[in-house]
Structure 1
Amino acid sequence: MRFLVNNAGIIKVAPFEALTEQDFHECLNVNFWGCLETMPDLKAQGGHILNITSLSGKMPAPHLLAYNCARAAAVALSEGLNLELDQADISMPAQTDEALQRTWYSIWPC
């Protein structure tokens, strides 16, 4: 495998008081840990991973706390590994621009 686009993700929409620990685990398992699944193969042969993350990882939106946390972790992982693996023939940039978030922040700027 030389190129992978990680585009899977789940979202939990609820105020903080309604979220459970399981909600956070589910979001982290898919939106963060899923980004690491192919690393052993890429370390062995080099390649590129594009992680589709979210602006919520940099600018949290209300009622999306579990999602915000998982996407922030994915952004930090992608940006950090992209720097760290620069010499190892592996790149892992994060793409965070998305129409849903651009619309949200144009209506309700933070």
Structure 2
Amino acid sequence: MKTALVTGASSGLGKEIATILAMAGYRLVIVGRNADSLNDVKQLTDTYNQQSTEMIIADLSQKEDVMKLVEKIEQLEQLDVTVNCAGYGLFKPYDELDYDQTEQMFRVNVFQLMALSQASANKMLKQQSGHIINVASIAGKIATPKTAVYSATKSAVISYSNALRLELADSPVKVSVINPGPIQTNFFKVADNSGEYEKSVQMIMLDATKLAKESVRLLTHYKRELNRPYIMHAAHLIYTVFPTVSDFLTVKLFNKK
């Protein structure tokens, strides 16, 4: 039986990916900070799988918890898939985010992901198989007003994953990046509690279950990147070719957070 580790599994996209992996027969190790929510996911995934889901309560902003998870990866008999889905955002003007908030976002969105990707890659190289899927964001490609730090963290995830993919190119270990736009989850309750941004992007909101299915499909139909929705992927291509015009339009369209 194949084994998959999923962080950020207590809600949102992580929960949906964990559920679909369980339905596909994977033994799961799920990681989250909220014990009650994570236990609910365990109960759900256990109904699809004869092998009981293992849950690990961890605050991935804390180095100690990250290092314990690194040790767990090293101790696993086998690790076939790692999905780094844990992350969050705060949508505020650049001058309203203090140093601690900035550091915290980088700890959760970037530093722990790098540590777990490194540990997973080492494990997978030893067994000569495996797939790392890192969840970034289209914000890592198209920065918008009031996402200076969040976009920077996701750009870092994309760059790290791209470099890791190149370093593993001669091995059987694969690396994919998922770059979603806004997803219909609780993400915006933290990112923008005014609700204004969520209203402004309602028309392009992604369905978490559908995106999770596409994400898990990368395990059998490999792609280096999954960019959704298509309209924002197209916008990134236009942004690359016409950056000055795109800056103007981005300010007009997305300065609503």
Q: Which TM bucket (shorter chain)?
A: 0.7 to 0.9
Provide the aligned C-alpha RMSD in A: 2.5
* Structure 1 position 6 matched with structure 2 position 84: yes
SS of structure 2 residue aligned to 1:44 = helix
Q: Deviation of residue 79 (structure 1)?
A: 1.2
Structure 2 Cα separation of the partners of residues 64 and 31 of structure 1: 13
Q: Deviation of residue 98 (structure 1)?
A: 2.8
Q: Which runs of 5+ in 1 are unaligned?
A: none
Partner of 2:136: 53
Alignment of 1:19-30 (within 5 A): 19-30=97-108
2:113 to 27, 35, 60: 35
SS of structure 2 residue aligned to 1:37 = helix
Structure-2-length-normalised TM-score: 0.38
2:145 to 49, 56, 62: 62
Deviation sequence 1:43-93 (CA, Å, 0-9, x none): 133321101110110101211111111000001001111122111332222
Distance 1:11 1:3, change over 3 A: same
Q: Is the 8 A contact 2:82 2:132 kept in 1?
A: yes
Task: Report 1 or 2 for greater relative contact order, CA contacts < 8 Å, sequence distance ≥ 6.
Answer: 1
Structure 2 Cα separation of the partners of residues 97 and 10 of structure 1: 13
1:44 to 120, 123, 138: 123
Q: Which amino acid aligns with 1:50?
A: I
Moved more, 38-47 or 95-104: 95-104
Structure-1-length-normalised TM-score: 0.83
1:97 to 180, 188, 212: 180
Structure 2 Cα separation of the partners of residues 70 and 20 of structure 1: 15
Q: Is the 8 A contact 1:2 1:42 kept in 2?
A: no
* Structure 1 position 81 matched with structure 2 position 159: no
Structure 2 Cα separation of the partners of residues 33 and 49 of structure 1: 16
Structure 1 Cα separation of the partners of residues 159 and 138 of structure 2: 12
Q: Is the 8 A contact 1:85 1:91 kept in 2?
A: yes
Q: Deviation of residue 11 (structure 1)?
A: 0.6
SS of structure 2 residue aligned to 1:96 = strand
